[in-house]
Amino acid sequence: MFLLKKILSAFLLPPGLFAALLIATGIWGLRRRQRSVGVVTLLLGLALWGMSSGPVATFLRKGLQEGIALPRQLHGDVIILLGGGTNDSILDLTGIGVPSDEMMSRTVTAVRLQKRTGVPVIISGGAILETDTPEALIVRRFLLDLGVPQKKIIIEERSRDTLENGRYVAKICNRQGFRHPFLVTSGYHMKRALLIFQRQGLGVTPVPAGLPYDHPKRVTPYTFLPSIESLIGTTAVLHERLGLLFYRWSMEK
């Protein structure tokens, strides 16, 4: 009964629902001898299913996290916390706006690191649209609520992407004399962030948030069932790979 419930819920909700509809439409087209339409639709359905499955998301993520690990010793003079998304339309206990799930993981990592080291935190993240609240302002409220002293928080609220994170944070570090920063961001995003900060002349110590621990997992009948969580993970990894390609292309120009 449990397995049946898992299968039904996987294919009655997006993205499994859309994958099933595409696959069914593709099979129907092939049976009606509409070969080109049937093949394309069937492949789209299978691709959506694949991108929505956990093993595919894990496989795509591995290359981005190769060589990334938590530091064994914590020696630094400032923490750089990179923005990872917020929602400024949510009512919260102490204001309006909350970090995304991914940004919450980075935020908690930065707070725990600050408690252990006592060094300041630079929150780097602006607003994409002029009507949005800068990300750094929302995250600052959460850092204060979690016990980080206000005098230990530095705001950088102009950056809109990782390239600008590196540019503006480097100026702050140079101006205030920080020489050994910790860099907190998601594990899959760390490789590109390191390249960008190194290009700005900052030798940072990576402290990845949400870094998966690879260990053998038992394959179950519902391992490959589609889920929105896996699709979001696959999308984030593909976005990161496109970002790496763009960054390397811009360096060659």
pLDDT tens profile 87-110: 999 999 999 999 999 999 999 999
Using the 3D structure, point to which of 18, 36, 52 is the last residue of a domain. 52
Confidence of residue 252 (pLDDT cuts 50, 70, 90): low
Confidence at residue 118, expressed as pLDDT on a 0 to 100 scale = 98
Does any domain span residue 41? yes
**Boundaries of domain holding 84:** 78-209
Residue 17 and residue 122 in one domain = no
Residue 87 DSSP one-character state: E
How many domains, in total, are found in the chain?
Answer: 2
pLDDT tens profile 168-191: 999 999 999 999 999 999 999 999
Residue 34 and residue 98 in one domain = no
Does any domain span residue 235? no
Residue 103 and residue 146 in one domain = yes
SS3 82: strand
pLDDT tens profile 147-166: 999 999 999 999 999 999 99
End-to-end CA distance of the chain: 58
Residue 45 and residue 85 in one domain = no
Alpha carbon 205 to its chain centroid, in Å, reads 19
Residues 6 or more apart in contact with residue 112 via CB below 8 angstroms: none
pLDDT above 90 covers what percent of the chain?
77
Does any domain span residue 73? no
Does any domain span residue 137? yes
* Closest C-alpha among 244, 213, 252 to residue 62: 213
Residue 82 and residue 205 in one domain = yes
Residues 6 or more apart in contact with residue 215 via CB below 8 angstroms: none
Q: Which two tokens stand for residue 240?
A: 């990161």
Confidence of residue 140 (pLDDT cuts 50, 70, 90): very high
Task: Taking the CA atoms of 14, 17, 20 and 22 in sequence, report the sign of the dihedral they define.
Answer: negative
What does pTM read for this prediction? 0.91
Q: Could you tell me the CATH number of the domain that includes residue 92?
A: 3.40.50.620
Confidence at residue 217, expressed as pLDDT on a 0 to 100 scale = 67
